[in-house]
Amino acid sequence: MDLYFLGTGAGMPSKQRNVTSIALNLLDERGTYWLFDCGEGTQQQILNSPVKLGRTEMLFITHLHGDHLYGLPGLLTSRSYLGGDTPLMLYGPRGLKSFVETALSVSGAHLTYTLQIVEIEEEGLIFEDESFQVETARLEHRIECFGFRIVEKDQPGKLMQEKLTELGIPAGPLYGKLKQGQSVQLEDGRTLHGIDFLGAPIPGRIVVILGDTRYCSGAQHLARGADVLVHEATFAMDKQELAYSFDHATSIDAARTAQEAGANALIMTHISSRYQGDAVMELLLEAQKIHSNSYIAKDFWSFEVPRKG
C-alpha cells in the first residue's frame, strides 16, 4: 500500500505542481487503485505515472471546487478508451452527480463501464467490505467539503508451521484451512482449531486524506491514530490571516492536527504557487517543529504506508 501524488498544488497549476489528485495504490491488497480528487490535467499526470486508470476501482471527490474536480469528465471518458470495463464507484458531495451527468451528456460521451455515483449525505461510514472501510466527516471550507478515513481491517496472524510440524502434520491443504481459522479433523480423529495455530493478528493500516480545510474538529476526528495523514498546507504561518479568510490551513495547522490526533506521519500538500523551489522548505521546517515526522509532497512522489511495529 502506498500513496502516489499526481498533483500537489493549490488553486491553479504551476510549472512545478499540478492541481490536486492522489492515488492510493492497493494492487497488493485488492489489485486496484483508489483516486482522491481529480483536478484539471489529472489524466495527463497519470500518463506519466505508474497508476493504471483501467484498474481504478473507486474515486473520491472531497469537494466541488475546480482544482479538485475539473479533470473528472475527461478521466471518466478516457477510462473507456483504455479498456476499463469494470465498474467504477464515484463518491462526493451533493451536486457531483449533476456535474458528471451534464458534462457527459453535453459532450456526447459514452462509457463502456458501469459508473455508480454516490452523493454523501451524512457523515460516517460510506463503504465497507471484508478488507476495508471508509469513513467520512465534514471539514471547514467555503463549500461543503469532506475528508476520508481509509481503514484496512486487521489480517490473520501468521500460521505457526513449526507447531504443526511438531505434531506431525505435513504441509498441504490443511494448512490453508487452518490459516483461515477453520477447524479440521485429521484421519486419526484429532481435531485442530485454526485459532490455536495463528500468531497475533496483523493490525490494519489507517490512511486519512483530507480535502481543503481550516484547522477543525472534523479533521482531528478523522486523523485519530492514523498511520498517515494527508493534510493541506496552502500557506506558511505568516499568512495565517489569509489562510483563515479563504478557509485554508497553514503548515502549523496541519502539524497541530497530526500531533493532537496522534497520527504517525504527516504529508502536506495543496501548496500555494507562491512557494517555489527551496521556498517550500519554510512550510516543512515549521511543521517539523510541532510534528517531527512531517513531509512535503511533490508531483510524482510516492510514500509507502508502513505497518505498525
Residue numbering of the annotated binding site for Zn(2+): 63, 65, 67-68, 141, 212, 270
Active-site annotation holds for 278:
no
Residue of 2, 28, 37, 67 marked active site: 67
Place of cell 482544482: 67
CB 53 within 8 A of CB 6: no
Distance CA 60, CA 192 (A): 44
φ/ψ of 52, rounded to 5, equals: -105, 110
Distance CA 73, CA 103 (A): 6
In the annotated binding site, the residues are 63, 65, 67-68, 141, 212, 270
Distance CA 295, CA 306 (A): 15
CB 181 within 8 A of CB 205: no
> Which residues are designated catalytic?
67
